[in-house]
Structure 1
Amino acid sequence: MKLTHPWKIVSLLTCLVVLGGCSSSPDDDEIVIGNRGAEALYADAKNSLEIGNFNNAAQILSALDSRYPFGPLSHQVQLDLIYAYYKTGKTPEALATIDRFIRLNPNHSDIDYALYMRGLTNMDADKNLFQELAGIDRSDRDPSKSREAFSDFRRLLEKYPESKYAADAQKRMVYIKNRLAKYEIAIARFYMRREAYVAAANRGRYVLEYYPDTAMVEEALQIMIECYDTLGLEELKENAVKTLKLNYPDARIASGD
């Protein structure tokens, strides 16, 4: 029988030890977290937040939230966890933590912050970083998250008008309204390309009714004029022309009038 050389046995054992160490590292991390006190772990989490290591902060804070749900640090842990989830783009986790915090602590002094973060989280979920970097306009993408964000900010302003987050929330609502108005215009243009002029005109009218203070009003009126002209609806067309000339005297009318 051929014997294995001793150096080969040593190499094999070394590999097994290394592999064993790698496979057990998650358990080791759990042991480290489990054997430390809440205050020490929270200090580590705060340090991670301060240096921008949000993934590590979220991991520690999540463990703290699970193991000490009613401790003296529990509320602050949850608020910091919301922020860590937001910064790491973990939208479902952030929203679930926010909703749980609001449900269990309806009278907490930081409810306004939770609502503000809910708006930020939904607003951020609507973005497409790669399209923005490439300069691609995708106004026609699903705006449901923007609508949720708008609702969150509106709720914040209605319930806590004196909140320190109110001014920024209001600015963000203006941005979101323009985003939603651009979506309606994009859909109207889509309908026009398919000669669905009634549907297109209705989208334009929707912008006038619900987003009258946005930059999309002029284009909405132009769409309405063109659609009504094509459909032979002269009275509706003339009303739209008058509105356009009154608000945008230098505007050129698409139909040529």
Structure 2
Amino acid sequence: MHVKHLLLIAILGLTAACSSKEVVDENLSEAQLYQQAQDNLDSRSYSSAIARLKALESRYPFGRYAEQAQLELIYAYYKNAEPEAARAAAERFIRLHPQHANVDYAYYLKGLASFDQDRGLLARFLPLDMTKRDPGAARDSYNEFAQLTSRYPNSRYAPDAKQRMIYLRNLLAAYEVHVGHYYLKRQAYVAAANRGRYVVENFQETPAVGDGLAIMVEAYQRLTLDDLAASSLETLQLNYPEHPSLASGSFQPRVSEADERNWLSRTALGFLESSDPLPPGQTRASQDVIKQYEDAAEAIPSELLEGVQQEQPAKRSWFSRLTFGLFD
């Protein structure tokens, strides 16, 4: 089914691309252009509607339908799956007509365009987890709906905008939780603790707060910051006793410890990790070269290796190979 859907999307995209080059009759009056645009919108021919609305605005910039055409152009772009164009048209309308009676509609459509920007056509047919994708458009949509609700609290679009803001806030919080889990897997425990604390402090009343506390507990435990881990665990147990990390009666880390590196090494992501001292005259780079040479030597087929050994009876040292025999 997914392949059929993708083929349908490709066909619709090609059709839309072809129809967007439609030529509008230059002899049409302002009223005729506007009526044809309305007919296109009613029949969901959004590309044709866009062409006529743009022609109407350019030919009759001070006509009786100019402002309405600019407003309906935002809607046509949005319905034609052109979010960037819809947002640009909305910003233009808000800038030109800040006191317009329907400017709240422009704010609303601008938020809707960002809301659907990441979802797109593919997300409607493929099982994509929106909480794991880049939240840039979601954050923009939240801010744009927030502008609408703060500037026009009595707008007819404010209730729907508030509901979408709740969804977007939950999505942004869940994204931060995914980032925190990523840091836990990479043993970047300071960064993970900061992400968990960010969720707790900035996304109250979202389902992700419990996950943020769990990330803090696990990160502080890995860092052996026992007091912080204990206080975070107490908060988690008090407010989210049903959290999955507490299912067994005690806290269960989500990510198992991969090794037994020291606290400083884990905090610095291993960059400051110490190792055995090197022999005199060797560096880490030379050791890497030797290791690569050894791996390549092991990969040589045995029959070729036997021939080489017959031609070269004398075995050279690693230092001789590295220096190409200059010091033999």
Q: Aligned residue for 1:221?
A: 213
**CA–CA separation in structure 2 for the residues paired with 1:167 and 1:255:** 40
Deviations 1:36-93 (A, max 9, x none): 1111111111111112111211121122122222211011101111000001111222
1:35 aligns with: 27
1:29 CA drift (Å): 5.3
Once the two structures are superposed, the pairs formed by residues 13-52 of structure 1 within 5 Å of their partners are 30=23, 32-52=24-44
What residue in structure 2 maps to residue 17 of structure 1?
none
Residue 59 (structure 1) aligned with residue 51 (structure 2): yes
Report the Cα offset of residue 98 of structure 1: 0.8
Give, in whole Å, the separation in 2 of the partners of 1:114 and 1:125: 16
Answering whether residue 210 of structure 2 is matched by residue 204 of structure 1, we say no
Alpha-carbon distance, 1:138 to partner: 4.5
How many angstroms does 1:139 deviate by? 2.2
- Given candidates 71, 78, 81, the residue that maps to 1:89 is 81
Give the letter aligned to residue 115 of structure 2.
M
For 1:45 and 1:241, the matched residues in 2 are separated by 61
TM-score normalised over the length of structure 2 = 0.67
Are 2:162 and 1:170 equivalent residues in the alignment? Answer: yes
Q: Tell me, which stretches of 5 or more residues in structure 2 are unaligned? A: 1-17, 255-328
The question of whether the paired residues in 2 share the 8 Å contact of 1:229 and 1:255 is answered with: no
Show structure 1 runs of 4+ deviating over 4 A. none
Q: Distance in 1 between matches of 2:153 and 2:71?
A: 21
**What's the offset of the Cα at 1:132?**
5.0
**Structure 1 pair 96/255, CA: closer, same or farther in 2 (3 Å)?**
closer
Q: For residue 6 of structure 1, what is the aligned residue in structure 2?
A: none
Report which of the two structures shows the higher radius of gyration computed on alpha carbons.
2
* Structure that is richer in helix per residue: 1
**How many residues align structurally?**
230
Partner residue of 1:123?
Answer: 115
The amino acid that maps onto 1:38 is E
Matched letter for residue 254 of structure 1: Q
Distance 1:190 1:132 in 2: 27
- TM-score normalized by the length of structure 1: 0.84
Structure 1 residue 202 displacement after superposition: 0.8
Alignment check: 8 A CA contact 1:48 1:54 kept: yes
Question: Residues 29 and 234 of structure 1: is their aligned pair in 2 closer, same or farther, counting only changes over 3 Å?
Answer: closer
Paired residue secondary structure (2:131)? coil
Letter aligned with residue 238 of structure 1: A
Name structure 1 gaps, 5 residues minimum. 1-24
